[in-house]
Chain A
Amino acid sequence: MTTTSLKKINPRSFDYWKAQHLLNRAGFGGQPDQVLALRNRGSEDAVDYLLDFQKVREEPVLADQFDSTIMQPRSESDRRALRQARQSGNEAALERQRTMRQERQRADRRQMATMQDWWLERMIETPRPLQEKLVLFWHGHFATGYRPVEDSYHMFLQNQFFRNNGIGNFKDELVRGIIRDPAMIKYLNNNQNNRNSPNENLARELMELFTLGEGRDYSEDDIKEGARTLTGYTFRDDEFQYNSRNHDDGSKMIFGRRGNWDGDDFVELIFSRPSASRFICEKLYRYFVNDAPGGFTKAQESVLRKMSATLVKNKWELKPVLRQLFLSEHFYDEENYGACIKSPAQLVVQCIRSLHTPARSLRKLNEACGYMGQSLFNPPSVKGWEGGRKWINTSTLFIRQNIALYLLTGRDERAQPWDSASADFSARTLVEHLDDISGRDTVRDGVVYLLRFAHSTPPDDDRVQQWVTYVNERGGRLDEQTLLNLLALITAAPEYQLC
């Protein structure tokens, strides 16, 4: 039976494997010594250390980290030249303008690729894993794709917005912030939403995908009227701009209440609906606890009700909800170990952070994430990544196995002949702490430990037996090459896709 309790776990039960589960889910896993350090803090301190990440020093994001000017609108003189060229039918001048625009777009796409690498590197290196894990969560929740936005700097600003507010207040910081976010405004066409011709895109997704859930607690009329509250919410250069001339300041009827509502009022009204606390808790639950398909079980329903209540009681502050969850008996219920399928980013980052492989080429890793279905800054639609089993099919599975192999060995699929001398990776550190953890040091202990450590779930006996036999056939020693071979197999096993 799954425990439905959000009651705190007994601090004495917080062992090495619970600490690892916490680090996998609230971050991207860690090496054995990091897991040990977390365990040694005890459950409360460990959770607070992860949650209060603002206290941890980190590499600051620089103001001039990226170029904000690449896609800025044409200057007045450029515009004048363009107008003149159009009027006079000056083909050569028009073509120069088109070429210039194409060059800017190319430069911007290059910056977008650099930004993907920059973010992936942050996930790999950050001393604040939960912060980056939440940036990834919000990027999937408030999904915005680069292509329609066509301005990498706006994608960067949105990414920073998630970094700065990811564990803050859902209503006052995240939702009120996102309706002012230039990338989102462009992506959902709110810059075209004005009093004379309203565009409903943002109003619709605000309720359907960001707060209430599809078809819950709102009607088509609420969308139409809601869109009017958001008229005139646009941006200029890199900043939100409220354009009062385009704003419809007439009276609107939303959820049966009439008033001269603006966008912030609309947000307040949405958060008076019962689904507002439920929907986001469902998404947090799927992301952090269990993403198995099918409806929620009775036990899960009960947990979701309690999470929602905590969110409302704390006036939409997210930290108390996550704290309660990460300290709960339910979170550490054995049914929830290995119950999430790693996203491509989680797979890559966790492989590096927990097995301690080199990161090798960030570009190659980002490309692989794309092949596995998760190109950063390019979610497939405003619905974001569905996640869970949707990540997996026969071809993504091979890419998943092979990218782990690449991280372990440094050899990609084109390299011939195979030479693992360049691996630049030692697996010994993974088993150095074996004495502290299991107290013994036989081949079986080593295999059991490595399997458990890499697979996040207790290994089944058949697996253990398969690989003990394999090691014994190789001479019965966990030497460097045997460990590497074992890890190649461990990362190719179906269980490795679980978190």
Chain B
Amino acid sequence: MTDHNEHPWSRRLFLQQGVTLASLAATTPLFIERSARGVMLPLGSLVSSQAGVPEDRVLVVVQLGGGNDGLNTVIPYGSDDYYRLRPQLAIQAPGRDNGALAIDGGDGIGLNPAMSGFKELMDEGVAGIVQGVGYPNPNRSHFSSMDIWHTADPQGKNNGWIGRYFDNTCSGTPNPEVGVAIGRQAPLAMQGASQLPVSFERAELFRWMGTDMDPQLEDPYEQIARTNHAGPVEEERSQNAFLKRTTLDARVSSDKVRRAVAQTPLVSYPNSNLAGQLRMVGSMIRAELPTRVYYVTLGGFDTHANQVGQHARLLEQVGNALNAFYRDLQAQGNSGRVMTMVFSEFGRRVAQNGSSGTDHGTAAPMYFIGDMVRPGLLGTHPSLTRLDEGDLVHNTDFRTVYASVLEDWMGADSNGILGGTWKTESLLRGG
């Protein structure tokens, strides 16, 4: 075990508490007490099963909505079947015109040339790919398959897997910013039984709009948020006291988040949807919000027709945004405590369709970035000859991947959260 267990009062926590005290002491003594405790408890109580994992670790989930074509992202250029089944769509071998990017030790596996931003991270040994991830009896509906990934439940009818993690580890006072999703609607994955994740599309919408109507409403609104705070005991039963406390939390969160996002990042980000979201996340990490999981989403991967250019633009956006995000974390000195996980609800069929596109399929790769991540290709590429009705057969269940994220990175008991024993290999170096 590392020495952080003996010294739970790390610099980061100490500073965080100090900042909270300084900014709020004048107005709201009870809130400080509760909030500082809310920040302390979950972190102190979590211990990763793996040495070297920092205690204030963060998970960033990137969802590629629509079903990203795994076979045209991680390219099996060593397979003749690949070229036979995708005459117009296949990416050529490395060295050929617009050919795949070779991966060290790839042995016939390369990356889509649009993914150079991601490839750079692989070359530096801070990015890994888990190949052929899926689940039994694959569902080819976007909605159902996404629900299955979000709930880690083959029926897709449970709470979210990250939400269950919050339920299991952050009991007691809900921490207002423990999970933050960029988007109007919080993803199912983050919804647990005891608390809803914070979500906002743009930080400037994460506030009350009444002052737009009349700026002079600022003062009376401030009074609303900061009066009559009851103690924790009264809050147990009094709905009114609970709501007053949450209103104050919201006011404070809003200020913190908007101030964080207003910073100029240490590196420049590309001008794209995903980069914009990751830029916000990077700023919030830099501002040391007590958030454990961030969630961002990019859609548009449902490439049924004329896929080539469209898919390349999406992958370029993904690769460059992830690269900028990692550089930002590096410049902040935070790349060791943040792990990014990229997934999609399914891959696409092996054979191209009649419109130079691909239809809904099954297994696909997942992507991981971070200093602690085991780099390179993990697992084996799914077979292109042994297909199930034209679809890839998964060789890694996504729940084993979740189990490693939960156990090795987040320091949680994955059995309780995933409802079964899924943990096998570690996604982390030396694990």
By a beta-carbon cutoff of 8 Å, the part of chain A in contact with chain B is: 91-92, 95, 98, 145, 147-148, 291-294, 338-341, 367, 370-371, 373, 380-382, 386, 389-398, 401-402, 405, 409, 411, 413, 418, 420, 457, 460, 462-463, 466-467, 470, 485, 488-489, 492-495, 497-498
Which of B215-223, B328-336, B370-378 is found at the contact surface with chain A?
Answer: B215-223
On whether the beta carbons of A381 and B157 are closer than 8 Å, the reply is: yes
Q: Quick one: which of A389, A395, A463 contacts B239, CB cutoff 8 A?
A: A389
On whether the beta carbons of A91 and B213 are closer than 8 Å, the reply is: no
Give bound CA distance, A336 to B324, whole Å: 54
Known: A371-B184, A371-B185, A494-B246. A393 touches B176 (CB 8 A): yes
Q: Quick one: which of B147, B193, B239, B253 contacts A394, CB cutoff 8 A?
A: B253
On whether the beta carbons of A394 and B249 are closer than 8 Å, the reply is: yes
On whether the beta carbons of A498 and B224 are closer than 8 Å, the reply is: no
On whether the beta carbons of A394 and B217 are closer than 8 Å, the reply is: no
Q: Quick one: which of B156, B208, B246, B359 contacts A402, CB cutoff 8 A?
A: B208
Specify which chain B residues have a CB less than 8 angstroms from the CB of A418 in the assembled complex.
212-213
On whether the beta carbons of A294 and B228 are closer than 8 Å, the reply is: no
Nearest CB of B to A86, in Å? 10
Nearest CB of B to A231, in Å? 19
Chain B 154-177 residues near chain A, CB threshold 8 A = 156-159, 174, 176-177
| Most chain A beta carbons < 10 A, residue from B177, B199, B205, B223 | B223
Nearest chain B residue, comparing its CB with the CB of A368: B184
Q: Quick one: which of B198, B205, B217, B250 contacts A413, CB cutoff 8 A?
A: B205
Give bound CA distance, A198 to B254, whole Å: 51
Known: A98-B359, A370-B185. A493 touches B236 (CB 8 A): no
Nearest CB of B to A107, in Å? 15
Asked if B355 is at the interface (CB within 8 A of a chain A CB), the reply is: yes
On whether the beta carbons of A147 and B147 are closer than 8 Å, the reply is: yes
| Most chain A beta carbons < 10 A, residue from B213, B228, B253, B355 | B213
Asked if B186 is at the interface (CB within 8 A of a chain A CB), the reply is: yes
Nearest CB of A to B146, in Å? 10
Give bound CA distance, A293 to B242, whole Å: 11
Specify which chain B residues have a CB less than 8 angstroms from the CB of A457 in the assembled complex.
240
Nearest chain A residue, comparing its CB with the CB of B183: A371
By a beta-carbon cutoff of 8 Å, the part of chain B in contact with chain A is: 143-144, 147, 156-159, 174, 176-177, 184-186, 188, 191, 193-200, 205-210, 212-214, 217, 220-221, 223-224, 227-228, 236-240, 242-244, 246-247, 249-250, 253-254, 353-355, 359
On whether the beta carbons of B143 and A292 are closer than 8 Å, the reply is: no
On whether the beta carbons of A497 and B208 are closer than 8 Å, the reply is: no
Nearest CB of A to B57, in Å? 23
Nearest chain B residue, comparing its CB with the CB of A388: B239
Specify which chain A residues have a CB less than 8 angstroms from the CB of B157 in the assembled complex.
145, 148, 381-382
Nearest chain A residue, comparing its CB with the CB of B214: A485
Known: A405-B210, A420-B213, A489-B217. A95 touches B355 (CB 8 A): yes
On whether the beta carbons of A392 and B243 are closer than 8 Å, the reply is: yes
On whether the beta carbons of A492 and B184 are closer than 8 Å, the reply is: no
Specify which chain A residues have a CB less than 8 angstroms from the CB of B186 in the assembled complex.
373, 395
Nearest CB of A to B190, in Å? 11
On whether the beta carbons of A394 and B198 are closer than 8 Å, the reply is: yes
On whether the beta carbons of B246 and A395 are closer than 8 Å, the reply is: no
State the 10 A-B residue pairs at the shortest beta-carbon distance, nearest first. A494-B243, A394-B250, A494-B247, A395-B198, A393-B196, A488-B210, A494-B244, A394-B253, A418-B212, A397-B250
Specify which chain A residues have a CB less than 8 angstroms from the CB of B246 in the assembled complex.
392-394, 397, 494
Interface of A is mostly: helix
On whether the beta carbons of B242 and A389 are closer than 8 Å, the reply is: yes
Q: Quick one: which of B221, B238, B254 contacts A292, CB cutoff 8 A?
A: B238
On whether the beta carbons of A294 and B355 are closer than 8 Å, the reply is: no
Nearest CB of B to A496, in Å? 9
Known: A396-B196, A498-B243. A294 touches B208 (CB 8 A): no
Give bound CA distance, A410 to B143, whole Å: 33
Give bound CA distance, A386 to B192, whole Å: 11
Nearest chain B residue, comparing its CB with the CB of A467: B220
Nearest CB of A to B389, in Å? 10
Nearest chain B residue, comparing its CB with the CB of A493: B224
Known: A92-B354, A148-B156, A381-B157. A294 touches B237 (CB 8 A): yes
Nearest chain B residue, comparing its CB with the CB of A189: B155
Nearest CB of A to B351, in Å? 8
Specify which chain B residues have a CB less than 8 angstroms from the CB of A92 in the assembled complex.
354
Known: A493-B224, A495-B243. A488 touches B217 (CB 8 A): yes
Nearest chain A residue, comparing its CB with the CB of B194: A390
Specify which chain B residues have a CB less than 8 angstroms from the CB of A381 in the assembled complex.
157-159
Nearest CB of B to A493, in Å? 5
Nearest chain B residue, comparing its CB with the CB of A382: B157
Give bound CA distance, A8 to B104, whole Å: 81
On whether the beta carbons of A338 and B240 are closer than 8 Å, the reply is: yes
Specify which chain B residues have a CB less than 8 angstroms from the CB of A338 in the assembled complex.
239-240
Nearest CB of B to A90, in Å? 10
Give bound CA distance, A468 to B20, whole Å: 32
Specify which chain A residues have a CB less than 8 angstroms from the CB of B224 in the assembled complex.
466, 489, 492-494
On whether the beta carbons of B253 and A498 are closer than 8 Å, the reply is: no
On whether the beta carbons of B174 and A398 are closer than 8 Å, the reply is: no
Give bound CA distance, A308 to B209, whole Å: 46
Nearest CB of B to A307, in Å? 21
Known: A398-B207, A457-B240. A470 touches B198 (CB 8 A): no
Specify which chain B residues have a CB less than 8 angstroms from the CB of A494 in the assembled complex.
224, 240, 243-244, 246-247
Give bound CA distance, A457 to B240, whole Å: 10
Specify which chain B residues have a CB less than 8 angstroms from the CB of A98 in the assembled complex.
359
| Most chain B beta carbons < 10 A, residue from A294, A397, A460 | A397
On whether the beta carbons of B236 and A294 are closer than 8 Å, the reply is: yes
Give bound CA distance, A341 to B188, whole Å: 22
Q: A371-B185, A394-B176 are in contact. List 15 more A-B contacts (CB 8 A).
A: A91-B354, A95-B353, A145-B157, A147-B143, A389-B242, A390-B193, A393-B196, A394-B177, A394-B253, A395-B250, A402-B208, A466-B220, A485-B213, A494-B224, A498-B239
